[in-house]
Amino acid sequence: MKQTAQLLFKNRRPGETVFLKEYERAGGYLGLKQALREMQPKQICELVKNSGLRGRGGAGFPTGLKWSFFPADKPAPKYLVCNCDEMEPGTYKDGELLQADPHQLVEGMIISAYALQADTGYIFIRYAYREQFANLQRAIAEATEAGYLGKDILGSGFSFELHVHGSAGRYILGEETALLNGLEGVRPNPRSKPPFPAVRGLFGRPTTVNNVETLSNIQHIVTGGAARFRDLALTVDGAGTKLYGLSGHLERTECFELPVGISLREIIDEYGGGVWRGRRFKSCLPGGASTPFLTSADLDVQLDYQTLEAVGSRFGTGGVTVFDDRTCMVAATLNLIRFFARESCGWCTPCRDGLPLVAWLLEKIEHGDGTRDDLQLLKSQYSNISGNSFCALAEGAMGPVDGLLRHFEQELVDHIEKGRCPFS
Amino acid sequence: MAELLTAEQIDQFRAHIAHIEHPRELIIDLLRAVQDKHGWVPDEGVELVAGLLGLTPLEVEEIATFYYKIYRRPVGRYPIHICDSICCWSRGGEALAEHLQKSLDIAPGETSADGLFTLLPTCCLGVCGRAPAMMIGRESYGPLNNEDVDRVLAELRQEAQA
């Protein structure tokens, strides 16, 4: 087990939250001072682009490129929104970060807002994160008191105000345009794109939406430089560290900051303590509920965007959920699909009607009542839904179905032929 | 019926609303405030929020019914959100949910006879490292076995009597 440089979890200690004094003692807000005193907004955008940082919320869009769409010349108000909906099953890393060190997000947002010349920020946070919400409120009050937030920050002439919005529980709010509707207080169905939020976002104004972990990396890129950030990754194309939340059938289910590009095997064996109860690895979701299953043939894959795409999955959120060899993959997929079907906002037909149909088919097969026709229908539903939904929710829901059909079709067939679940 | 919001809360919200450009952004804050005070959001709560924000009750209703953690029907003093998503499922979440149903003698969605507990299956609570988990009110618990659940229920029953 090699020691990983800790950027995001540097101040993390079990059961504790770091606030302003301690945060500053550990070098906090030096990045902000450096950015405001020594750098032009454009330089920071360029630096972030060169750092290779990609969005940590699941989609993996290059952050610098996203920022380049933001219109620097348009007048205020312009918004920077932080997405802390974090409701994808298996994903809890942003919650861990805000539990440990809320000022990191606040500092990252102030620097990012300066880079984008946004004047107002919102942190959108899920209902269940009560303590993280309170931590952020305190951090914002402390930062305002210390002159890091508000008017004319540290005498730079740059002003930024930051609000926290507590949500009330729906996965669809993690979709950035649904989130913007949620912030505005209208029914949070996703919006059609274009126009993209950079052009017309919150309250019709230019807006950038970034994830908690993404924004918390910005000060480390400012202080350490783009090259150092890239070097943290173990892959040639990769950049930075990643927060990996381990869950499922592992001995140790905790959240770790490790390099982008660490192998699945190392994460499972060294950090997860191996598959629980001395059992064998069967499969995993490498990056949250919407990422296609991997199998034991993939154990040596490096966890990064391109490398996981090459084996038919996605890096997603970095939440690794492991399944042991006694797991029925039909039942696991059914559980995942029920989640997506229930969380569908109901706006478009493939998602609203298609996901319950897929759940019903899987239920039938899992209960031993499935036929070959049902398997055929499952396959056709997979292709009917994929690429045809209004937003990414149903697309994500098809991730595990895709994995099931590619890697575990024999399990589906066994259920049908035996007329029961072979694992129960 | 318990109060929906105190006069002081209403005054504070009114002052805030007068200060901001887009009052409608407070809709969830208002609904959550009503729920915190009253336990759930009755029709009168929807009407109150609509009145404060200058919206129709229907405009508030379509928001209130969208979010799972806004209760539009009465719930027990302690709403229990039992996670049924993949990580909790993989570590015994289903058995835990069954144990809760038996202990409380209710089906999902129902409230116990003593009016204390409502059992609500919920999606991932964001504590996947501590599966299986549940959230009672706003408090997360996990990892849990049947004995842990019994202990928590007993504590809350005792708290309710005090």
Whether A4 has a pLDDT exceeding 90, the answer reads no
| Residues in B touching A254 (Cβ below 8 Å) | 129
Q: How far is A100 from A78, CA to CA, in rounded Å?
A: 29
- Same domain, yes or no: B62 and B82: no
Strands A79-84 and A207-211: parallel
- Same domain, yes or no: B149 and B123: yes
Q: Quote the DSSP letter at residue A348.
A: S
Q: How far is A303 from A205, CA to CA, in rounded Å?
A: 36
Test mutation, B13, B89, B127, B135, chain A, max A CBs within 10 A? B89
Give residue B30's Cα distance to chain centre: 14
| Residues in B touching A91 (Cβ below 8 Å) | 124, 126, 128
- What is the percentage of chain A residues whose pLDDT exceeds 70? 100
Determine contact: B62 vs chain A, CB below 8 A.
yes
Whether residue B72 is contained in a domain is answered as no
**How many C-beta neighbours within 10 Å does residue A12 have?**
17
Whether residue B1 is contained in a domain is answered as no
Task: Answer for the pair B144, B96: CB distance below 8 angstroms, yes or no.
Answer: yes
CA angle A365, A369, A375 (to 5 degrees): 45
Q: Which regions of chain B are under pLDDT 70? A: 1
- Same domain, yes or no: B90 and B153: yes
Strands B117-122 and B78-83: parallel
Whether residue B15 is contained in a domain is answered as yes
- Same domain, yes or no: B83 and B126: yes
pLDDT the model gives residue A3: 81
Per-residue pLDDT tens digits for A281-308: 999 999 999 999 999 999 999 999 999 9
Q: Which residue range(s) make up the domain with B108? A: 78-161
Q: Give Cβ neighbours of residue A252 (< 8 Å, ≥ 6 apart).
A: A246, A271, A272, A273
Cα radius of gyration (chain A) = 22
What total of structural domains would you count in chain B?
Answer: 2
Closest CB from B87, B125, B138 relative to A247: B87
Whether residue B11 is contained in a domain is answered as yes
Which of A299, A381, A388, A265 lies closest to A333 in space, CA to CA?
A: A381
Whether A42 has a pLDDT exceeding 80, the answer reads yes
Whether residue B58 is contained in a domain is answered as yes
Over chain A, what is the mean pLDDT? 97
pLDDT the model gives residue A1: 60
The letter for the amino acid at A82 is C
CA distance A90 to chain B (A): 6
**How many C-beta neighbours within 10 Å does residue A291 have?**
29
Angle between helices A392-407 and A329-343 (to 10 degrees): 170
CA distance B47 to chain A (A): 16
CA distance B145 to chain A (A): 16
- What CATH number is given to the structural domain containing B17? 1.10.10
By CB neighbour count within 10 A (0-12 exposed, 13-18 middle, 19+ buried), where does A357 fall?
middle
Q: Do A327 and B89 touch (CB under 8 A)?
A: no
| Residues in A touching B86 (Cβ below 8 Å) | 89-90, 248, 285, 289, 321, 332, 335-336, 339
Test mutation, B58, B128, B134, chain A, max A CBs within 10 A? B128
pLDDT the model gives residue A424: 85
pLDDT the model gives residue A259: 98
CA distance B129 to chain A (A): 5
- Same domain, yes or no: B52 and B86: no
* 3-class DSSP assignment, residue A48: helix
**Among positive and negative, which fits the CA dihedral A303, A306, A309, A311?**
negative
Structure-block tokens of residue A359:
């759940």
Whether A400 has a pLDDT exceeding 70, the answer reads yes
- Same domain, yes or no: B60 and B129: no
Q: How far is A46 from A269, CA to CA, in rounded Å?
A: 38
- Same domain, yes or no: B55 and B89: no
Which of A265, A276, A290 lies closest to A327 in space, CA to CA?
A: A276
ipTM: 0.96
| Nearest chain A residue to B24, by CA | A185
Structure-block tokens of residue A344:
């569908």
Task: Answer for the pair B133, B144: CB distance below 8 angstroms, yes or no.
Answer: yes
Average pLDDT over residues A322-330: 98
Determine contact: A289 vs chain B, CB below 8 A.
yes
For every residue of chain B, DSSP letters joined together read: ---SS-HHHHHHHHHHHHH-S-GGGGHHHHHHHHHHHHSS--HHHHHHHHHHHT--HHHHHHHHTT-TTS-SS---SEEEEEE-SHHHHHTTHHHHHHHHHHHHT--TT-B-TTS-EEEEEES--S-GGG-S-EEETTEEE-S--HHHHHHHHHHHHHHHH-
- What CATH number is given to the structural domain containing B143? 3.40.30.10
Which of B66, B86, B103 is where one domain is finished? Answer: B66
Per-residue pLDDT tens digits for A185-228: 999 999 999 999 999 999 999 999 999 999 999 999 999 999 99
- Same domain, yes or no: B83 and B145: yes
Say if pTM beats, i.e. exceeds, 0.80.
yes
Whether residue B130 is contained in a domain is answered as yes
